[in-house]
């Protein structure tokens, strides 16, 4: 097999202007030169069709599966390297446009629109898409599934809460003391959650600028577990740096609710 391939190569090199030929090899070609430079195939053109040889450069760049649709919620892309109808497992990258409200659908190579789903099967909504996001999509046979992390715009803080940073909001005033689980239920009933230790610490450190009251003057519950059985972590007893453990069923503590943006 190696000899045949070598002879064909000589023939093509010796008569480059006399004729063109196509070599079909029905088994693997082994490149076993001692020098790494000898173990490579050069001169392959940029692939333009689904049956073309995919070069390492094209694979690394990912250009054959990357597209930028026009604005709107009905995305249409043209990828001539892919078949007209995507098959299960087809992976593409889409640079998101300025989208309009409503569920996003994607059409590949003038095919039928296919719904785009995110986070467990819910529709990707155009109003939640940040323009310019590189969206990784895989076709599951029925829909395109978003693979990469959250591409949602940050949600605004609910009324009455203060924005601490791009990640979360916090109640500016602590709530009256309760045991641990009743405190969690209060936050949950409001569509909020208990604050984590790191969030409480960050908010406390910036309490003056944020206008937060009563932080660092008494213990407050956090959502973090402690190293003691039947206990949860508490913070703020005397300073922002204070941290400790408290039994969750026999002690009542002040608390605040937080909100993930």
Angle at alpha carbon of residue 210, lines to 209 and 214, rounded to 5°: 105
Range of the domain at 44: 2-53
Q: Are residues 39 and 128 in the same domain?
A: no
**Which of 146, 173, 199 is the endpoint of a domain?**
146
Answer whether residue 181 is part of any domain.
yes
Q: Are residues 103 and 137 in the same domain?
A: yes
**Which of 97, 120, 146 is the endpoint of a domain?**
146
Which H/E stretch holds residue 25?
A: none
Angle at alpha carbon of residue 140, lines to 260 and 50, rounded to 5°: 125
The number of distinct structural domains making up the chain is 3
Answer whether residue 58 is part of any domain.
no
Tens digit of pLDDT at every position of the chain (261 positions): 444 444 334 333 444 444 445 667 788 778 888 888 878 777 777 776 666 777 777 777 677 789 999 999 999 999 887 777 889 999 999 999 988 899 999 999 999 999 999 877 889 999 888 888 899 999 999 999 999 865 566 788 999 999 999 899 999 999 999 999 999 999 999 999 999 999 999 999 999 999 999 888 899 999 988 777 888 999 998 888 888 889 888 889 999 999 998
Q: Are residues 83 and 113 in the same domain?
A: yes
Answer whether residue 196 is part of any domain.
yes
Answer whether residue 169 is part of any domain.
yes
Answer whether residue 140 is part of any domain.
yes
Nearest to 96 by CA among 51, 18, 60, 148: 148
Six-digit token string for 252:
């009542």
């Amino acid at each position: 097999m190696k000899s045949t391939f070598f002879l064909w190569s000589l023939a093509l090199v010796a008569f480059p202007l006399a004729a063109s030929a196509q070599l079909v090899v029905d088994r693997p070609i082994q490149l076993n030169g001692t020098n790494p430079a000898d173990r490579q195939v050069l001169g392959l053109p940029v692939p333009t069709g689904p049956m073309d040889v995919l070069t390492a450069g094209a694979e690394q760049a990912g250009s054959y599966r990357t597209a930028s649709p026009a604005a709107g919620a009905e995305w249409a892309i043209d990828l001539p390297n892919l078949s007209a109808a995507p098959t299960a497992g087809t992976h593409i990258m889409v640079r998101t446009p300025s989208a309009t409200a409503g569920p996003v659908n994607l059409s590949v190579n003038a095919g039928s629109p296919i719904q785009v789903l995110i986070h467990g099967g819910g529709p990707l909504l155009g109003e939640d898409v940040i323009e310019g996001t590189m969206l990784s999509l895989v076709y599951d046979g029925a829909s395109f599934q978003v693979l990469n992390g959250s591409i949602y715009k940050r949600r605004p803080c609910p009324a009455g809460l203060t924005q601490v940073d791009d990640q979360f909001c916090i109640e500016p005033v602590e709530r009256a003391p309760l045991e641990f689980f009743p405190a969690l239920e209060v936050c949950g009933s409001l569509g909020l959650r208990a604050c984590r230790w790191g969030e409480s610490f960050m908010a406390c450190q910036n309490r003056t600028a944020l206008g937060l009251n009563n932080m660092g003057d008494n213990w407050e519950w956090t959502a973090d577990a402690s190293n003691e059985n039947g206990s949860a972590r508490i913070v703020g007893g005397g300073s922002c740096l204070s941290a400790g453990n408290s039994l969750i069923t026999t002690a009542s503590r002040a608390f605040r609710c937080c909100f993930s943006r």
